[in-house]
């Protein structure tokens, strides 16, 4: 099978971790008799330096004509002083909008071999967890009306949280479909005791739930959800929530796994063409060849599963990652006494050995 993959390498550690994922995809292509073509698509700080803007039209065109997009990370101190619309992160928002992706899927798994790296208490970590956060990606406060105005205490800024029924329904339905392939439970996170937008969210959630009688449901306020993730993450299967709440809770869940460098994500819309990227940022202060590429490699596994329907191939990558960790190979962020310290390229080499 032939697939065209757009590569947005990005900034900081982005190029290194994307290169690791490409090596893994090349091995998958060889083992399973596929043909992957990779096309470069500049975005973020490097695009600003080269083209004067974070998201050139040529990058949008490349991504729209591809079967999937693999993204490293964008941003860095070098561009922090630029106006908001010219910062690298605006390119990320722009490509999501251009590709009409609205469902951000973020799995978080505590691997048995990494329980000692989790900040969770030992008896909680011992139970482990395997959950998925489904975050609405193109609505809410990040995209609502914003600005400055004169208020009763002088100048004030405002950002508006706004959700339509359609936006809520499509993300909630995505969560239910994922739950059907897992343990069959969806927890909806909101702030319905305060926010009108959350009240509509909760109403639509229960409307959609009627179409999925075999999936159990639960409502939870976001402040309680943060506490429950720290106290008992094993209670969760699929979490669905708004853009801002999902942004915050997914970073919390990543910390519980032992390192944010382990977490992948997929951003999907109504088609199978998605954006796949690790949850972490560009980490420009890291020394070369020291970054953890596992989040990006696992993002490539999600690409195989969700965009290409290559389930066996995705399982092979995930199994190779777990076998690598089980044998004690670690990058610096997850290293402990008794482990074998690896560079970015070294741990990628180990993963390649286990792909079958």
pLDDT at 322: 96
Q: Which of 111, 199, 211, 197 is nearest to 161 (CA)?
A: 197
223 catalytically annotated:
yes
pLDDT in tens, 126-170: 999 999 999 999 899 988 999 999 999 999 999 999 999 999 999
81 has pLDDT over 90:
no
193 has pLDDT over 90:
yes
247 catalytically annotated:
yes
pTM: 0.91
Mean pLDDT of 215-233: 97
Three-state DSSP class for 33? coil
Q: Tell me the pairing of strands 130-136 and 103-109.
A: antiparallel
61 catalytically annotated:
no
Quote the mean pLDDT of the chain: 96
pLDDT at 290: 97
Domain locations in the chain as residue ranges: 1-103+260-356, 119-256
Q: What is 119-256's CATH number?
A: 3.40.718.10
Cβ-count burial of 184 within 10 angstroms (0-12 exposed, 13-18 middle, 19+ buried)? middle
Number of alpha carbons in the 13 Å side-chain half-sphere of residue 81: 1
pLDDT in tens, 25-45: 999 999 999 999 999 999 999
The catalytic residue among 26, 130, 219, 251 is 251
Output the CA–CA distances (angstroms, integers) from residue 316 to 35, 323, 335, in the order listed: 17, 10, 24
Confidence grade of residue 221 (pLDDT, cut at 50, 70, 90): very high
The catalytic residue among 61, 223, 270, 315 is 223
pLDDT at 93: 86
The catalytic residue among 3, 102, 111, 191 is 191
Angle between helices 14-32 and 294-306 (to 10 degrees): 50
- Confirm if 103 and 69 have CB atoms less than 8 A apart: no
Q: Which of 65, 49, 61 is nearest to 11 (CA)?
A: 49
Measured distance CA(127)–CA(336) in Å, rounded = 21
- The β-bridge partners of 36 are 3
Of 61-65, 132-136, 202-206, 283-287, give the lowest mean pLDDT range. Answer: 283-287
Percent of the chain with pLDDT over 90: 94
The catalytic residue among 67, 190, 237, 247 is 247
122 catalytically annotated:
no
The catalytic residue among 130, 142, 219, 350 is 142
84 has pLDDT over 90:
no
Q: Name which CATH class applies to 1-103+260-356.
A: alpha beta
Mean pLDDT of 318-330: 97
> Which ranges constitute the DSSP H helices of the chain?
14-32, 45-51, 57-64, 88-98, 122-125, 165-180, 196-209, 222-231, 243-256, 294-306, 311-326, 344-354
pLDDT in tens, 86-129: 899 999 989 998 999 999 999 999 999 999 999 999 999 999 99
pLDDT at 23: 98
11 catalytically annotated:
no
The reply to whether 1-103+260-356 and 119-256 are identical in fold is yes
Mean pLDDT of 177-187: 96
Q: Please give the backbone phi and psi of residue 215, each rounded to the nearest 5 degrees, phi first.
A: -110, 125
pLDDT at 143: 87
The tokens for 58 are: 């040529």
């Amino acid at each position: 099978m032939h697939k065209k993959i757009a590569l947005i390498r990005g900034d900081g550690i982005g190029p290194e971790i994307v290169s690791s994922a490409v090596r893994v995809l090349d091995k998958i292509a060889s083992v399973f008799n596929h043909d992957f073509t990779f096309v470069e698509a500049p975005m973020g700080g490097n695009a600003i330096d080269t083209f004067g803007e974070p998201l050139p039209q040529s990058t949008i065109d490349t991504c729209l004509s591809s079967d999937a997009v693999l993204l490293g990370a964008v941003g860095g101190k070098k561009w922090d002083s630029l106006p908001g619309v010219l910062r690298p992160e605006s390119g990320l928002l722009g490509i999501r909008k251009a590709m009409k992706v609205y469902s951000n899927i973020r799995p978080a798994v505590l691997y048995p071999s990494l329980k000692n790296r989790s900040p969770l208490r030992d008896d909680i970590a011992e139970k482990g967890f395997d959950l998925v956060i489904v975050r609405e990606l193109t609505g809410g406060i990040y995209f609502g009306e914003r600005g400055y105005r004169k208020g009763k205490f002088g100048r004030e800024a405002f950002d508006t949280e706004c959700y339509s029924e359609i936006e809520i329904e499509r993300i909630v339905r995505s969560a239910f479909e994922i739950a059907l392939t897992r343990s069959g439970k969806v927890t909806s996170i909101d702030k319905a005791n305060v926010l009108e937008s959350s009240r509509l969210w909760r109403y639509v959630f229960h409307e959609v739930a009627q179409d999925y009688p075999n999936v159990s449901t639960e409502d939870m306020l976001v402040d309680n959800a943060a506490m429950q993730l720290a106290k008992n993450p094993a209670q969760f299967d699929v979490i669905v929530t708004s853009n801002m709440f999902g942004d915050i809770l997914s970073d919390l869940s990543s910390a519980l796994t032992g390192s944010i460098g382990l977490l992948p994500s997929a951003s999907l819309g109504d088609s199978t063409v998605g954006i796949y990227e690790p949850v972490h940022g560009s980490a420009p202060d890291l020394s070369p060849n020291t970054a953890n590429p596992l989040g990006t490699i696992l993002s490539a596994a999600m690409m195989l599963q969700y965009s290409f329907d290559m389930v066996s191939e995705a399982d092979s990558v995930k199994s190779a990652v777990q076998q690598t960790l089980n044998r004690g190979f670690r990058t610096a962020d997850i290293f402990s006494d008794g482990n074998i310290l690896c560079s970015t390229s070294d741990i990628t080499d180990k993963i390649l050995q286990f792909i079958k």
